[in-house]
Structure 1
Amino acid sequence: MEKRRLGQTDMYVNMVGLGCMGLSHASGTPVAREEAIHILQEAHHIGYDLYDTAECYTGIYPDGSISHNEEIVGEAVKNFRDEIVLCTKFGVTHKGNHLELDSSPQKIRESIEGSLKRLQTNYIDIYYQHRIDPQVEPEIVAGVMKELIQEGKIKAWGISEVNEDYLRRAHANCPVTVIQNRYSMMARWHEHLINVCQELGITYIAFSPLANGALTGAYHSQADFKDDKQDFRRNMPQYSETGMIKTNQLLKIVSELAKKYNATNAQISLAWMLSKFDNLIPIPGSRKIDRLASNFAAGNIHLSYEDIEIIDYQLEHMEFEVFGGH
């Protein structure tokens, strides 16, 4: 599989990365610790070499204890730590139904020490500001990142859910290696940033590249998730009655291409963005090893220019009800 460079660094990774969040957070009751560790280790055998987690990815096990994604990832990768690019994030705390944002220098310093300990490592390859903190200027955050790079605690840094102005200001003070924003066939409002990243020599990491599972075709309504209060998808608009009508219109097109390429819906959805942009890496996640293998194999599927044009033309004439929609 083709390797893709992360920004202007000497780090190269396979075209499909691994989003680890769903094992602990937002996708239902956390996977049992030992099973989650096994899944992450199997992912390495499959070929994944970019692992993405965050300080705030937590969930509650049935016994009431906390599942901390960083701890699970750290335990899973410790025997092959230097063979992967390990990414985590700071600046967000979940407070009930809202996010508390804090990217103050003091908080960043506290967060990096906690993440290093939980991940069982003495350096982080890519350290993300998880969300823009309106109380802290990008130059201040970039300044702390420059210090952490000089101290050897991180190799590079990135920003998640960033806009163009913030990105340019931050990048001017300490070069940004990656950004991580939502992107999928159903969520294309950040597409202009992919071109900005190309200009600046930055890699675009696409989170939720399968629209929180909607593009797999495996789910049919919000009722598929109602039994688990820790599954955020239970209230996502793409799974509402009207949302599914629009989702299924796209899935019909994707399914036809899947037949042509002898692929799955998910593979076509990932191959579409990989074939369009050479500075993009999607980070799908799954709790099932066979789906992890299938997603990874999407990096070997190359859609024709004509097929990409057909998809893009259809997308221009479609509207979706999707989580995070603008």
Structure 2
Amino acid sequence: MVKIPKVKLGSQGLEVSALGLGCMGMSDVYGPPKPEPDMINLIHHAIDSGVTFLDTSDVYGPHTNELLLGKALKEGVRGKMELATKFGIKYENGNYEVYGDPTYVRAACEASLKRLQTDCIDLYYQHRIDTRLPIEITMGEMKKLVEEGKIKYIGLSEASASTIRRAHAVHPITAVQLEWSLWSRDVEQDIIPTCRELGIGIVAYSPLGRGFLSLGPQMAENLADGDFRQSLPRFQVENLENNRKLYERVTAIAAKKGCTPSQLALAWVHHQGNDVVPIPGTTKIENLQQNIGALSVKLTTEDMAELESIASDDATKGDRYMDGFPTYLKSDTPPLSSWKP
């Protein structure tokens, strides 16, 4: 069995497993919710295997994913793992709304603590940035939550470099969560260098391209009704044929390395540095074991160069999200000097 090392995430003291577990798909984002007993068993298996860094959010479900983790972690398990959750997105009547005002931040944290059945969240992210108010206002309330012991460390998700800098000046940011994989490399230009300059850890979500780098077009063509990925541009017919080429090239290199395409794609993320922790999601123990196996895949300088040559910025067709969905590209906030409460 592969021994999963612990790594320092950021420069504030948080240590997590070098491989995390994204729990979103256990609820209803990728099709119908999975059977609760099976998911609790999967979570326990992950922790027993050394995957102790679990990632959720109040919007997954909404709320049902946190409730699931609360049930899974109450049986003497909580002290063995590092728990990350998020606030900032409300999903109501088919629409997403982003909130970052202090009253909402505090209420969201209290609600998450209750659902998770814990008295402290290890890493609390602002899931999306509320561009209606200065980031300093949101961060000020998160800083108070740290001081009160309700959260240990602060994170941001899908934040621009300038927003990260401004937030970090209010209270040190421990981690920035962003999409980073062989088919999403735009963050390498500005955000990754900013995080490294400031000593901020990097948590890579969707390191397997939302499953595409595991199974290719076959996965995209067999999505369940209600699967969020059905609405994403990269999974549309007009883009799939191009994106198939990337998958086929990854598959060919994986065959030479004696691993699966998903292990190769995950190994590429691991090889970006000790400050990067990928959090692939899964609902199956066999896939979890395969992801753990990626830690044993060693990539040479030549391997990395070959992978990066086939996965250049324009190798993937289609945007990451549908039009209007909040991402780091539109996450700058007004200056603090303009704020009138």
- State the TM-score, normalizing by the size of structure 2: 0.88
In 2: Cα distance, 1:149 partner to 1:215 partner = 38
SS of match in other structure, 2:254: helix
Deviation at 1:248, TM superposition (A): 1.7
Deviation at 1:284, TM superposition (A): 0.6
Match of residue 154, structure 1, among 151, 155, 158: 151
Q: Does 1:76 align with 2:72?
A: yes
In 1: Cα distance, 2:27 partner to 2:271 partner = 31
CA offset digits 1:76-123 (Å, max 9, x no partner):
122211111100011111124431111111011111111111101000
Bigger drift between 263-272 and 29-38 goes to 29-38
Alpha carbons 1:222, 1:236 under 8 Å: kept: no
Aligned to 1:290: 286
Aligned to 1:63: none
In 2: Cα distance, 1:221 partner to 1:143 partner = 43
Q: Does 1:98 align with 2:56?
A: no
Alignment of 1:59-138 (within 5 A): 68-78=64-74, 79-138=76-135
Alpha carbons 2:30, 2:229 under 8 Å: kept: yes
Alpha carbons 2:156, 2:176 under 8 Å: kept: yes
Bigger drift between 15-24 and 89-98 goes to 89-98
In 1: Cα distance, 2:26 partner to 2:161 partner = 31
Percent sequence identity over aligned pairs: 36
Match of residue 161, structure 2, among 150, 161, 164: 164
Q: Does 1:45 align with 2:42?
A: no
Q: Does 1:258 align with 2:254?
A: yes
Structure 1 alignment gaps of length 5 or more: 60-66
In 2: Cα distance, 1:274 partner to 1:237 partner = 26
Aligned to 2:308: 312
In 1: Cα distance, 2:256 partner to 2:184 partner = 24
Quick one: which amino acid aligns to residue 22 of structure 1?
A: G
Match of residue 324, structure 1, among 308, 321, 325: 321
Alignment of 1:201-216 (within 5 A): 201-216=199-214
Alpha carbons 2:120, 2:151 under 8 Å: kept: yes
In 2: Cα distance, 1:69 partner to 1:2 partner = 26
In the alignment of these two chains, the number of paired residues is 317
Deviation at 1:314, TM superposition (A): 2.1
In 1: Cα distance, 2:39 partner to 2:92 partner = 25
Alignment of 1:1-20 (within 5 A): 1-20=4-23
Q: Does 1:179 align with 2:182?
A: no
Aligned to 1:278: 274
In 2: Cα distance, 1:235 partner to 1:152 partner = 39
In 2: Cα distance, 1:255 partner to 1:16 partner = 22
Aligned to 2:27: 24
In 2: Cα distance, 1:222 partner to 1:302 partner = 29
CA offset digits 1:24-44 (Å, max 9, x no partner):
031110012222211211111
Quick one: which amino acid aligns to residue 56 of structure 1?
A: V
- State the TM-score, normalizing by the size of structure 1: 0.92
Deviation at 1:257, TM superposition (A): 2.0
Q: Does 1:200 align with 2:203?
A: no
In 2: Cα distance, 1:148 partner to 1:53 partner = 19
In 1: Cα distance, 2:36 partner to 2:53 partner = 20
Superposed CA RMSD in Å reads: 1.8
In 1: Cα distance, 2:161 partner to 2:144 partner = 23
Structure 2 alignment gaps of length 5 or more: 323-328, 330-341
In 1: Cα distance, 2:106 partner to 2:275 partner = 30
Alpha carbons 2:183, 2:315 under 8 Å: kept: no
Deviation at 1:218, TM superposition (A): 5.3
Quick one: which amino acid aligns to residue 264 of structure 1?
A: T
Quick one: which amino acid aligns to residue 195 of structure 2?
A: C
In 1: Cα distance, 2:16 partner to 2:251 partner = 29
In 1: Cα distance, 2:38 partner to 2:5 partner = 30
In 1: Cα distance, 2:98 partner to 2:302 partner = 43
